[in-house]
């Protein structure tokens, strides 16, 4: 799998000589940004899962500087952000809302705040609508970062454990092959 994915990753020379990437050359030269090792890939998955819940087209734009900052695999971080798509975004945001409602003290999945539209008065309607939106959005604003952190931690641990299990299985298979050849 690693050899297969390696053919799609750019090498250092192509990154260094790319005219669009030259201004960022020194930042993009760290080996972990492009190499497939367990730390770099696990970090890239964590960054991608975290940034995948960022609204709209800002997912890739937010995952790129975080991958460079934490020196994790950049293509993996960008690719993983696409787990949110038109089919998955609504269930994920509903889960984030429910998680935020639970954390913020909601009862039975409903926020403590009144979800009914407030009575508007001509002199204070702007502040009343703003307060209503803030109360409505509180569970979502709490739930989204919390869900993003949970997904990032679970993704990081899953990749690290999965990578280790695959390596151990390959070692054991190799030992069995070598033991069979000796006898």
Q: Exposed, middle or buried by CB within 10 Å (0-12, 13-18, 19+), for 72?
A: buried
The whole-angstrom separation of Cα 37 and Cα 18 is: 24
Instruction: Report pLDDT for 114.
Output: 47
The whole-angstrom separation of Cα 149 and Cα 47 is: 9
pTM of the model: 0.74
Helix (H, G, I), strand (E, B) or coil at 110: strand
Q: Exposed, middle or buried by CB within 10 Å (0-12, 13-18, 19+), for 108?
A: exposed
17 pLDDT above the threshold of 70: no
Domain of residue 159 covers 2-182
Poorest-confidence range of 141-145, 149-153, 160-164?
Answer: 141-145
Separate counts of helices (H) and strands (E) for the chain: 7, 0
The total number of structural domains in the chain stands at 1
Instruction: Report pLDDT for 150.
Output: 97
What is the mean pLDDT of the segment spanning 163-175?
94
65 pLDDT above the threshold of 80: yes
């Amino acid at each position: 799998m690693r050899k297969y994915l390696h053919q799609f990753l750019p090498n250092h020379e192509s990154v260094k000589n790319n005219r669009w990437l030259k201004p960022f050359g020194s930042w993009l030269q760290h080996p972990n940004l492009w190499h497939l090792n367990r730390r770099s890939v696990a970090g890239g998955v964590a960054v991608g899962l975290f940034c995948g819940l960022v609204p709209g087209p800002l997912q890739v734009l937010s995952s790129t500087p975080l991958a460079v900052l934490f020196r994790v695999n950049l293509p993996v971080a960008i690719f993983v952000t696409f787990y949110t798509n038109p089919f998955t975004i609504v269930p994920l945001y509903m889960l984030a809302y429910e998680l935020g409602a639970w954390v913020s003290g909601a009862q039975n999945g409903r926020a403590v705040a009144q979800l009914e539209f407030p009575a508007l008065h001509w002199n204070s309607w702007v502040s009343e609508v703003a307060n209503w939106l803030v109360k409505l959005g509180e569970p979502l604003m709490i739930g989204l970062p919390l869900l993003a952190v949970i997904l990032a931690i679970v993704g990081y641990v899953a990749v690290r454990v999965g990578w280790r299990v695959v390596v151990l299985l390959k070692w054991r298979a190799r030992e069995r092959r070598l033991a069979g050849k000796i006898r």
